[in-house]
Structure 1
Amino acid sequence: MRHVRWAAAIFALGATMTLNSADAAPTYEILKFEDLDGWEDDDHSAALAVFQETCADIKDAEWATLCALATSQPSARTFFELFFRPVLINGEDQALFTGYFEPELRGSRRRGGPYQYPLHSKPPEVQNGSTWFSRREIEEQNLLDGRGLELVWIDDPVEKFFLQVQGSGRVKLAEGGAMRVGYGGKNGHEYRSIGQELIRRGTYEPHQVSAQVIRRWVQRNPIEGAELLRHNPSYVFFREVSEVPADKGPLGAMNRSITPMRSIAVDPKFNTLGGPVWIEKGGAKPLHRLMIAQDTGSAIKGAQRADIYYGTGDQAGRAAGRIRDRGRLVALMPIQTAYTLAPGG
């Protein structure tokens, strides 16, 4: 979706995780299912249904076999226990969980009145994997103006920024109806946390930072707020998404709708997109649940890092914005893959 596709989501606005082993070879430890806290109490059928939505898109023969078998198992829990092994990757690192959601914004297909902040489609000269101009350069030099790249005009620059962090959202149109927008590319610059910048400046303590706090600060300080937003050089482009029904979630990195509280964004260098991942999130509202890795995010780096998709709208946004918790992630891998990576397991 990003952002969501990249996410998207990626709502690590207040903190990012330092992984001491980020550049080292990953470590793998095979666990038992009884080592997973709360495993027996989860709704494995709900997880299996989400797994089946994207497992056919995993380009691997072993996964393809498991995907075919998933439709014929009488018990979802038995399916996972029979054909997978829990693998703890980089177990010396403590996990960091954040949350993301699909925002709902107000906008218009035509510029006018409060609708002054455009969402742009990707310029044709921007190539995937290449670096284009930074957010500051794009805005200060008006590099996108007058090119017919505007998809829709939004009434709030902060909401536009957060939509770029999320990567996907719905826009309620002044003309009536709504449109859904999804990730359409980016300028190639790495995401930089504005929450971390406010902490660095001493404006807030780490425990005080949330999406709502950042939003209010920028709105109270419009000039300094615009400068703060430019601290993040990453700039996300959008496309109109018309193929997703209104009752389905936004598209994730696998180009399939994601599911609230069952889909997570992960670092695909460590976790297979489409694969099941057991999470044990601490914090004020602990969450121990089998999730499916169906999304990615530019701020989601490392084996023990995940963004939990909370759903659409303000309530989901408030819940997602409060999440910055520790714990651990355990990937469920096909048996052969697991023992290849951890032969002594």
Structure 2
Amino acid sequence: MRPKVTVGIIAVAVILWAVFFMQHKPEWTEENSLVKSRPPGLTDDLDSKSLITALSQSLTYLKQLPEDKIFHFDGNKISAKKLYLSLKDFKEKLETFGLTEKFFKYVKENFVFYRSAAREVLITGYYEPLLKASKAPDKRYKYPIYKTPPDLIKIRLSDFFKNTRQNNLPDEIRGRVTSTGEFVPYYTREEIDFKHALKGMGLELAWVDNLVDLFFLHIQGSGVLVFQDGTRLRVNYAEQNGHPYRSIGKFLVEKGIFTSEGASMQAIKNYLREHPKEVRTVLSHNPSYIFFRTVTEGPLGHLELPLTPYRSVALDRRIFPPAAPVFLISEKPEITPDGTIVGWKKFSRFVFNQDTGGAIRGPGRLDLFCGAGEEAEITAGHLRQSGALYFILKKQKTM
């Protein structure tokens, strides 16, 4: 009799081949997601200190990479070393000139601009929430935050197939092996939160008192837990169950509950608070589930380095060069002291590609990290504006 693990491996191979032959050529790749462009007018609505902070994180990341690792800019193959040198020059001139017209003129004359190839770019936001929590469950604190389960198996498709991205295969698939040796998809949100599939496995990091707030912690990817004794614990994304992200905002719009403009995070929370019987149906619409870890600093982005409020952005990591500088144009809310949005104001600034997200797919999506606190929550919850993004790279002849 063959061991169960062997049977599981055979099942995995069958699934991989089935996935491979069912895929179609992807619309967007590293080679076609950026287009060389004329530079837009350059301004920056924030301070140079935050820009240098974010820039330094990108330099730290690039310094750790093999120098010959390749990134793509409109078909041009650029090494990690060249990207690092480009960013280093950007930093040196910023420290010399500050965010002045002289600096903007230098960037325009010495850098190449590559705009997103998407017809439209949707700009959204995310933030680091605070959640009331307990170190032990009780009648109030009954919703667990889980760490990564030991039975979650992750398989890199590149170990089995070449050119996974060109064949529209995911980078990885996740699942679990059953008692009969079958490799199957991992538990869904419905199975974890409402059927308690992970209960008794000792995976709880803490417990919170609101399931909807826990759901949005999953969406944000990180947060700070505030315990009853006043101590705090920062939790950060560790793993994901392998199921695709599905927007509950879009689900509620399709049901006629909201218009597209009205489906903000705050509006969704209010609706679910007023319709508790709908919570299970709405939350289970998104089968994706996030597992967490504790960290001492953060929040950490996909580069495993701290994010900088309003300077770090999440983009599709499959198609865009990580850590690279981006010039962003969009609109931001004008917020009164009582938290009311009274209008939207155009802004532009330099940001850095330092994170990613399950909903961030294709060249037409950018998620702006807004930090922590009430203003960050309001901005992130309502930001859903059109915009433009340009990656920048120093001209090779001036490197």
C-alpha distance in structure 2 between counterparts of 1:270 and 1:302, whole Å: 7
Equivalent residue letter for 1:149: L
Amino acid corresponding to residue 111 of structure 1 in structure 2:
P
Which has the higher Rg, Structure 1 or Structure 2?
A: 2
Shift of the 170–188 alpha-carbon distance from structure 1 to 2, 3 Å rule, reads same
- Cα distance in structure 1, aligned partners of 2:136 and 2:44: 53
CA distance, structure 2, for counterparts of residue 202 and residue 322 of structure 1: 19
CA shift for structure 1 position 27? 5.4
SS at match of 2:271: helix
2:213 match: secondary structure: helix
Q: CA RMSD in A?
A: 2.4
Alignment of 1:55 with 2:82, yes or no, is: no
Q: 1:288 aligns with which of 323, 348, 369?
A: 348
Separation in 2 of the partners of 1:261 and 1:24? Answer: 25
1:210-229 equivalences in 2 (<5 Å): 210-229=264-283
Matched with 2:116 is 89
Rate the CA distance shift 1:62–1:82 in 2: closer, same or farther, 3 A: farther
Q: Equivalents in 2 of 1:50, 1:172: separation in Å?
A: 27
Where do 1:30-41 residues align within 5 Å? 30-33=36-39, 36-39=40-43
Q: 61-70 vs 273-282, which deviates more?
A: 61-70
* Residue 260 (str. 1) matches residue 303 (str. 2): no
Shift of 1:44: 5.3
TM (norm. structure 2) is 0.72
1:68-119 deviations in Å (ceiling 9; x for gaps):
545644236377456531111315x111000110000100111124111110
What's 1:111 paired with? 137
The 8 Å contact of residues 44 and 348 in structure 2, kept in 1 or not, is answered as no
| Aligned-pair CA distance for 1:150 | 0.4
TM-score, with length taken from structure 1: 0.82
Q: Secondary structure at the match of 1:285?
A: strand
SS of alignment partner, residue 60 of structure 2? helix
State the Cα distance separating 1:267 from its structure 2 match. 0.9
Among the aligned pairs, what percent are the same residue?
31
Q: How many residues align?
A: 310
Determine the structure 2 residue equivalent to 1:12: none
How far, CA to CA, are the matches of 1:321 and 1:139 in structure 2? 24
* Whole-angstrom distance in 1 between the partners of 2:204 and 2:44: 50
C-alpha offsets along residues 195-230 of structure 1, whole Å, 9 cap, x if unaligned?
A: 100011111111111101111111111121121100
Counterpart of 1:179 in 2: which secondary structure? strand
One-letter amino acid of the structure 1 residue matched with residue 192 of structure 2: I
CA distance in 1, matches of 2:354, 2:44: 23
- Identify the residue that residue 315 of structure 1 maps to in structure 2: 375
Alignment of 1:150-229 (within 5 A): 150-229=204-283
Question: Is residue 86–residue 393 contact of structure 2 (8 Å, CA) maintained in 1?
Answer: no
Q: CA deviation at 1:286?
A: 1.9
Unaligned runs of 5+ in 1: 1-19, 338-345
- Deviation by residue 1:133-186 (Cα, 9 ceiling, x = unmatched): 211122343211111100010010000000001110001111321100000101
Distance 1:111 1:304, change over 3 A: same
Residues 81 and 218 of structure 1, relative CA distance in 2, 3 Å threshold: same
**SS state at 1:224 partner:** helix
List runs of 5+ in structure 2 lacking aligned partners. Answer: 1-25, 66-79, 155-171, 176-185, 333-343
Structure with the higher fraction of residues in strand conformation: 2
Does 2:366 match 1:306? Answer: yes
1:265-322 alpha-carbon deviations (Å, 9 max, x no partner): 1112332221111111147232211111111111011113111111112331111111
Q: Is contact 1:271–1:331 with CA below 8 Å preserved after alignment?
A: no
TM-fit CA distance, 1:57: 1.3
Question: In the alignment, is the contact (CA less than 8 A) between 2:52 and 2:91 conserved in 1?
Answer: no
DSSP 3-state at the match of 2:320: coil
Alpha-carbon spacing, 1:42–1:152, altered in 2? closer, same or farther (3 Å): closer
The amino acid that maps onto 1:263 is: S
